[in-house]
Amino acid sequence: MRSTENTKLEAIEVADDPGFFEILSTTRAMRRLRPDPVPMRLLRRVLEAGTKAPSGLNSQPWEFLVVRESESKRWIQENYLRVATERFGALRDSLSNEDGPFPRLLRNVFRQAASLHEAPVLLFVCSHRDWPFWVADEDRVGVAPPPYGAIFPCVQNILLACRAVGLGSLVTTMHRMFETELAEHLGVPQEIAVVAMLPIGFPTGRFGPVRRTPAAALTHLERWGSPDVSCDVRGVEVTPS
Ligand SMILES: Cc1cc2nc3c(=O)[nH]c(=O)nc-3n(C[C@H](O)[C@H](O)[C@H](O)COP(=O)(O)O)c2cc1C
Q: Supply the mean pLDDT for the chain.
A: 91
Residue in 127, 171, 182, 194 to alter for ligand 1 test, most ligand atoms within 8 A of Cβ: 171
- Alpha carbon distances (Å) from 63 to 53, 77, 101, 196: 13, 22, 34, 11
The answer, yes or no, to whether any atom of ligand 1 lies below 6 A from the CB of 170, is yes
Q: How far is CA 236 from the centre of its chain?
A: 28
Residue range 149-196, pLDDT digits in tens: 999 999 999 999 999 999 999 999 999 999 999 999 999 999 999 999
Measure the CA–CA gap between 31 and 40, rounded to whole angstroms.
21
pLDDT at residue number 235: 67
Task: Please choose, from the candidates 56, 61, 66, 44, the residue with its C-alpha nearest in 3D space to the C-alpha of residue 151.
Answer: 61
Residue nearest to atom 22 of ligand 1 (CA): 29
Residue range 25-56, pLDDT digits in tens: 999 999 999 999 999 999 999 999 999 999 99
Residue range 219-230, pLDDT digits in tens: 999 999 988 877
More confident of the two residues 181 and 235: 181
- Domains, in order of start, for the chain: 11-208 (3.40.109.10), 211-241 (no CATH)
Distance 158 CA to ligand 1 centre (A): 14
Residue range 75-116, pLDDT digits in tens: 999 999 999 999 999 999 999 999 999 999 999 999 999 999
Please classify residue 21 by burial: count the beta carbons closer than 10 Å to its beta carbon, then call 0-12 exposed, 13-18 middle and 19+ buried: exposed
Residue nearest to atom 18 of ligand 1 (CA): 29
Q: What is the pTM of this model?
A: 0.90
